[in-house]
Amino acid sequence: MQNCDLTVKIGKMIFKNPVIVSSGTFGFGEEFEDFFDLNQLGAIISKGISLSPMKGNPPPRIFETEGGIINSIGLQNPGFQEFIKNKLPYYKNLKTHLIINFFGNTQKEYIELARRFDSVSGISGLEMNISCPNIKKGGIVFGTDPQMAYRLVREVRKATKLTLIVKLSPNVTDIALMAKSAEDGGADAVSLVNTFRAMAVNIHTRKPELGNIIGGLSGPAIKPIALRMVWEVSQAVKIPIIGIGGIMNVEDAIEFILVGASAIQIGTANLVNPRTGIEVIQGINKYLVRNKIDSIQKFIGTFG
Ligand SMILES: Cc1cc2nc3c(=O)[nH]c(=O)nc-3n(C[C@H](O)[C@H](O)[C@H](O)COP(=O)(O)O)c2cc1C
C-alpha cells in the first residue's frame, strides 16, 4: 500500500501522523502495548497530573449509557513527583511524542506544574486541562470564563517553552470565544472537547448511578456536538485545533479533519477496541490514497 505524507505540526512538535490517544483513556500506555506498536501513534497524552496525588471520587465511577459512558473518575492521579519517578521512565523508551495533561486547583498550581514539567527531559508538550473548579473563585471553572481562561493561559505561557495546548470544556455557551481567549493568552493549539456534564439515575434503587452523582459524558453520543464545536472554533482561531469527541473509527476522524482539525484524539474508543488508534492511522492513509491526496496538510479543513 502506497503511503501518504501524514505529518502534521502542532506548535514545535512534528507528529508522524495526526492520531493521538487522549488523556485518561489510555492508562499510562503500558496496558496497550500488547495490542499494537505504540511508536506508530502521532502522540500519547498522559492521564491528567496534579501537583499532589489525588484519590478521585467515590465508586461507582463509570456508567455505560446508550452511545457512551459517563465517568466520574475525578482526576485521580499519582501527583507530579510519583509520575516523574515511576511513570515517565516507561514513556521515555517510546519513539513517539509524549504530551503531559495537567491541571491545578489554583492559577499558582498551574504555573508551578508548567514550570516543573518545563525542566523535565522526554516531554514534547503540555496539554492544559482548564475544566477544573477554581477554589479561590468559589468553584467557577477556569474553562467557562473567557477572562479567567485568558489570564491563566497567559501566565502559564510565561512558565514554559514547551508546546502548550489548551484543552477546552464543551460546557459553555460559546466555545469559539473560549478558544480565542486561549489563543490570545499564547496557546500554541487548542484541543476540544472534554466531557459533557451528565448524570444517570437507577429507577429501582432510586439512587444515582455514580457515586459523585454527576460525571462527564463521552463516546459516540457526543460526536455531532463536538464536531460542531470544532467547526465553530476553526472559524475563530488561527492556531491548530485538535479534535476530540466520540471518534470511534476512521470515518469519524476524517469528519473532524475535514471541518478543520489538524489532529484528532481517540478517547472512549480505546476502552471498546484497544486497536482503534492504529486502525485510524491506517484508515486515514487508505482514504487519502483512494482520493489521490498525497499529503494530509492539503486535506485539513477542506470541508464546504
Ligand atoms: C475514563 C476517562 C478519564 C478521563 N480523564 C481525563 C483526564 O485526566 N484529563 C482530561 O483532560 N481529560 C480526561 N478525559 C476526557 C477525554 O480525554 C476526552 O476528552 C473525552 O472523553 C471525549 O473524547 P471521547 O468521546 O473520544 O472519549 C477522560 C475521559 C474518560 C472517559
The rounded Å distance from CA 290 to ligand 1 centre is: 32
What residue's CA is closest to ligand 1, atom 5?
Answer: 24
Residue 113 Cα to ligand 1 midpoint, Å, equals 20
Pocket test for ligand 1, best of 19, 25, 223, 225 (most atoms within 8 A of CB): 25
Average pLDDT, the chain: 96
C-alpha to C-alpha distance for 39 and 118, rounded to whole angstroms: 23
Distance CA 280, CA 267 (A): 12
Going from the Cα of 266 to the center of ligand 1, the distance in angstroms, rounded, reads 9
Question: Which residue of the set 38, 111, 128, 132 is catalytic?
Answer: 132
pLDDT of residue 137: 73
Residue 130 has pLDDT above 70, yes or no: yes
- State the pLDDT at residue 115: 98
Quick: pLDDT tens for 202-240.
999 999 999 999 999 999 999 999 999 999 999 999 999
Mean pLDDT of 99-126: 96
Rounded mean pLDDT of 91-120?
Answer: 96
Q: What are the grid coordinates assigned to 69, written together? A: 459512558
Q: Give strand pairing partners of 97.
A: 43
User: For residue 138, what pLDDT is reported?
Assistant: 66
From residue 113, give the alpha-carbon distance in Å to each of 31, 122, 300.
Answer: 26, 16, 33
Q: What is the pLDDT of residue 135?
A: 64
Which residue, among 4, 34, 177, 189, has the nearest Cα to 99 in the 3D structure? Answer: 189
Element (H, E) at 215: strand 214-218
Top mutation candidate among 130, 194, 248, 273 for ligand 1, by most atoms within 8 Å of CB: 194
Q: Where are the domains of the chain?
A: 8-56+75-196+217-298
CA nearest to 191, candidates 45, 42, 29, 6 = 45
pLDDT at 118: 97
CATH number attached to the domain at 8-56+75-196+217-298: 3.20.20.70
* Atom of ligand 1 lying closest to residue 220 CA: 25
For the ranges 38-42, 45-49, 136-140, 182-186, the lowest mean pLDDT is seen at: 136-140
User: Ligand 1 pocket test: which of 61, 62, 195 has the largest number of ligand atoms within 8 Å of its C-beta?
Assistant: 195
The string of DSSP codes covering 3-44 is --B--EEETTEEESSSEEEPTTSSTTSGGGTTTS-GGGSSEE
Residue 132: active-site member: yes
Between residues 133 and 160, the one the model is more confident about: 160
Give me ligand 1 centre to Cα 194, in Å: 6
Rounded CA-CA distance 40/281 in Å is 8
Q: Look at 124-133, 228-237, 273-282 and tell me which has the smallest mean pLDDT.
A: 124-133
Stretch 258-283: mean pLDDT: 98
Average pLDDT of the residues in 158-186: 97
Residues with CB under 6 A from ligand 1: 22-25, 47-48, 69, 71, 73, 75, 101, 129, 167, 194-195, 218-219, 222, 244-247, 267-269
Distance 215 CA to ligand 1 centre (A): 11
Check whether 45 has a pLDDT greater than 80: yes
Predicted confidence band at 131 (pLDDT cuts at 50, 70, 90)?
confident
- Render the burial of 24-51: b for 16+ CB within 10 Å, e for the rest: bbbebbeebeeebebeebbbbbbbbbbb
289 CA to middle of ligand 1, Å?
31
